[in-house]
């Protein structure tokens, strides 16, 4: 729910466990309590996409029996799999551009224990017209960070369990060229296209490829996106890493972003997501300002976490049972 600073303060003072997203000028004024937060001025509300620095998006974590909060740096972020509840949901927020994000992005797919513990979250960001530092907040201490991850562990009642799903409007054409990379990396110069080594930036320019379309990889039927951040100086940079030995193709162009979202949302038929995070690239390229995609309301993010780091994706969680 998108509410005022005063309403948010009231919920904190009532002792509610909260997940909060908003502009840093509001987050820094919140009292200590059972909450975590991250910076973004972009949201999907009940009324549609909106950019505001006057309100906060707040999720009450009323489904949890207990919560605990911890912060991590790049060297110990994967302690989240050791410190979470056996039956719970971990909510993880990391600041855009921080080394902890790069560490998590590169290594999370290889941490098998993550798949045993539902982990959802997002990358905090900033006003794109200002580019201030992205921050995360540990409300239990009142501290904010530009270089750490903050996690809220939630313990679920017996008979309840968390399920994480995603909505990805992108697919590929299996007849398109197969792209492979030599290393797990956030930026590359060379790759192979159908087995032939090329400069990737030159290949994109020569083929006139729309860089708004992500690379997609088929992970046993689930499409995972890797979005392009920039193409310059013969180097292609990504918002999440590419991985060696994975087959990639460029996504098919989506002509009707909102219509495709609506179709996928209706097909997903989620009851009532308790958390939902939608990518800033979807917000921009899909022109989601003022567009409704309920019931998937929440912060617009600079990356999504559904166990691993995702891009150009909507990630959500439901509590079942």
Distance CA 268, CA 264 (A): 6
- What's residue 186's pLDDT? 87
Whether residues 220 and 91 fall in one domain: no
- What's residue 302's pLDDT? 94
Whether residues 69 and 160 fall in one domain: yes
- Structural domain contains residue 266: yes
Mean pLDDT by 10 residues, the chain (321 residues): 98 98 98 98 96 98 97 96 96 96 90 92 94 94 98 97 93 90 92 96 94 86 87 91 90 86 78 92 90 92 94 94 88
- Structural domain contains residue 169: no
- 283 touches 293 (CB < 8 A): no
- Structural domain contains residue 79: yes
- 72 touches 79 (CB < 8 A): yes
**Secondary structure of residue 304 in the 3-state scheme:** strand
* Residue the block writes with tokens 């002792």: 15
Whether residues 109 and 204 fall in one domain: no
How many of the other CB atoms lie within 10 Å of CB of 169? 24
Whether residues 61 and 118 fall in one domain: yes
Last residue of a domain, one of 250, 274, 303: 250
- Structural domain contains residue 170: no
Last residue of a domain, one of 250, 279, 294: 250
Host domain of residue 51:
2-164+259-320
- Structural domain contains residue 145: yes
- 272 touches 132 (CB < 8 A): no
Whether residues 204 and 264 fall in one domain: no
- Structural domain contains residue 59: yes
- Structural domain contains residue 234: yes
Omega within 30 of 0 (cis) for the link into 264: no
Phi and psi angles of residue 147, each rounded to the nearest 5 degrees, phi first: -135, 15
The bridge status of strand 304-306 relative to strand 136-138 is unpaired
**Secondary structure of residue 83 in the 3-state scheme:** helix
- What's residue 270's pLDDT? 62
Whether residues 154 and 290 fall in one domain: yes
Whether residues 109 and 203 fall in one domain: no
- Structural domain contains residue 171: no
For CA atoms 75, 182, 112, 92, the dihedral sign is positive
Whether residues 114 and 192 fall in one domain: no
Last residue of a domain, one of 232, 250, 268: 250
Beta strands in 15-106 (DSSP E): 18-22, 35-39, 42-45, 48-51, 56-60, 66-72, 88-95
Domain count along the chain:
2
- What's residue 53's pLDDT? 97
Element (H, E) at 166: strand 161-167
Whether residues 152 and 193 fall in one domain: no
Whether residues 220 and 279 fall in one domain: no
Distance CA 135, CA 178 (A): 37
Distance CA 77, CA 82 (A): 10
Whether residues 242 and 313 fall in one domain: no
pTM of the model: 0.92
Whether residues 157 and 189 fall in one domain: no
């Amino acid at each position: 729910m998108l509410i005022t600073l005063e309403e948010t303060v009231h919920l904190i003072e009532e002792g509610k466990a909260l997940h909060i997203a908003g502009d840093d000028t509001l987050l820094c004024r919140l009292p200590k309590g059972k909450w975590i937060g991250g910076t973004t001025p972009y949201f999907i509300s009940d009324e549609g996409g909106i950019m505001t620095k006057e309100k906060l998006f707040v999720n009450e974590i009323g489904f949890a029996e207990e919560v605990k909060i911890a912060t991590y740096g790049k060297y110990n972020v994967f302690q989240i799999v050791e410190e979470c509840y056996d039956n719970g949901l971990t909510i993880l927020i990391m600041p855009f551009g921080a080394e902890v994000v790069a560490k998590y992005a590169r290594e999370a797919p290889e941490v098998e224990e993550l798949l045993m513990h539902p982990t959802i979250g997002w990358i905090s960001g900033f006003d794109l017209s200002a580019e201030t530092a992205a921050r995360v907040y540990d409300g239990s201490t009142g501290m904010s960070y530009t270089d750490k991850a903050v996690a809220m562990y939630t313990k679920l009642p017996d008979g309840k369990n968390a399920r994480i799903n995603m909505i990805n409007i992108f697919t590929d054409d299996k007849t398109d060229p197969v792209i492979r990379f030599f290393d797990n990396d956030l930026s590359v110069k060379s790759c192979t296209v159908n087995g032939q080594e090329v400069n990737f930036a030159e290949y994109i320019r020569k083929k006139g490829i729309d860089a708004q379309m992500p690379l997609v990889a088929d992970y046993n039927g689930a499409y995972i996106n890797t979005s392009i951040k920039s193409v310059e100086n013969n180097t292609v940079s990504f918002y999440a890493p590419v991985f060696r030995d994975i087959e990639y193709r460029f996504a098919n162009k989506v002509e009707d972003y909102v219509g495709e979202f609506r179709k996928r949302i209706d097909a997903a038929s989620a009851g009532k997501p308790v958390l939902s995070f939608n990518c800033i690239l979807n917000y921009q390229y899909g022109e989601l300002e003022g567009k409704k995609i309920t019931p998937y309301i929440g912060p617009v993010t600079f990356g999504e976490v559904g166990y691993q780091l995702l891009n150009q994706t909507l990630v959500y969680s439901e509590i079942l049972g």
